[in-house]
Structure 1
């Protein structure tokens, strides 16, 4: 998945294509639906989707009869979302400065956002500000150190995974969800893990991207990268590709 920083997410056609592909992965729809259920997103309630990207979740929530607002710091991404879902409410804003009044929404959702925040506590302070008492928050994301890929060279694979993780602002944010929520005053915190297992060749670009990122960071050589990618391509051609991606989902209640 492409990197999206809090202040300067620069969406390109490639990034949008990757986000669209992620939305269509096996289990992605069920994961989104579970997040809506944890929010208590019933008709007539209100939810802000932070880091909304191209707006898929906002559109889903609107279909449920929810008054949903999508915010994203990227003008280009918001333009795409508005073009796809012209009846929905999208606003240009980051997680640190939500354009909402105090105690104005019943739910706060952030999917694959907190690993790109240098100050997650600051974002959660904003979440507490805009949530009504008893409002619900749901955080969804992957722990970048726990990507599992089968390979004939497990040591090199481990190096690639961890090196790519280190290019992310907060690669281990997901394992911190529970403590972050507790430390910022939320209650009734729960955490679920849903692990997606992918064997389709369509996932090859994601796997290649991990290796290229590790090479870019200087952790592996071009020769190591090319060899590892060649092995993964061969696996894809022979139905031997294997990627497991645990997704963490934390939910809590505002005081």
Structure 2
């Protein structure tokens, strides 16, 4: 799973974002969630798989190891450069999810993980998914609900304010709730939705919580003093092995109508 997004401050976050994505790829349950997406896509020898928003290219490499002809696209040039450096045997290209540089029906499988919440028009991405998939092709989209983070904290009301304030800085914080409808609206059938919950209790995940508070301060939703007190509470919990952050992650799949 991931709880990453663009930095609302406008700073160049790409090197840090890649490091966070790498950490998330190693988070509890992340490998199983990726494997589930490959199973839902029916990845096998010869499957033509496109990974949209591929980041550092891990999923492309894993699908390739299963025998697929896998390629990745990302709108960030530095992400694509990193992917090419890490996985030179695979194809990567700079492209936007809403304007893919491929012919109609070019792919058997379409995968977009942690992508749709970044888009002002996620429906346009699903329309592109339908276009580039061959009839009977499969699509799998995955993401977290930014407005449903669960944290153990002393001040529940302040926690809700912080979570909601951070969510409101994401283009589509609750788009996962629309996954089923978006797939149906854009020509997909056999649509299913699954949810898993990432439970993070290790102290190394504390920066994810403190990042929520920092974003809430930038948004003007809480004061710096409130954020400092809330962050101190989280730090104490982490030091005492009592940190708790749970994030629901939704995986929706569908088949391109013939």
User: Is the contact between residue 45 and residue 106 of structure 1 (CA under 8 Å) also seen in structure 2?
Assistant: yes
User: Which residue of the partner structure matches residue 206 of structure 1?
Assistant: 208
CA contact (8 A) 1:9 1:73 kept: no
Report how far residue 9 of structure 1 moved.
11
Q: How does 1:39-50 map to 2 (within 5 A)?
A: 39-50=41-52
Equivalent positions of 1:54-203 (< 5 A) are 54-203=56-205
User: Matches of 1:194 and 1:136 in 2, distance apart?
Assistant: 20
CA distance in 1, matches of 2:253, 2:208: 28
How many residues are matched? 253
| TM-score between the two structures when normalised by the length of structure 1 | 0.97
- Alignment CA distance shift 1:119-1:190 (3 Å): same
Question: CA–CA distance in 1 between the matches of 2:183 and 2:4?
Answer: 26
Secondary structure of the corresponding residue to residue 92 of structure 2: strand
Q: What's 1:246 paired with?
A: 248
Q: Which runs of 4+ in 1 moved over 4 A?
A: 8-11
Contact 1:115 1:170 in 2 (8 A): yes
Shift of 1:2: 3.2
Consecutive unaligned residues in structure 1, runs of 5 or more? none
1:12 deviates by 2.5
In the other structure, the counterpart of 1:24 is: 26
Pairwise CA distance, 1:11: 4.9
- 1:99, CA displacement in angstroms? 1.3
Q: Could you give the per-residue CA deviations for residues 152-207 of structure 1, whole angstroms, max 9, x where no partner exists?
A: 10000000001100000000011110011111121010000001111100110111
Secondary structure (helix, strand or coil) at the match of 1:70 reads strand
3-state DSSP class of the match of 1:189? strand
- CA 1:31–1:99 in structure 2 vs 1: closer, same or farther (change >3 Å)? same
CA deviations 1:117-158 (Å, max 9, x no partner) are 111111111001100000000000001011100001000000
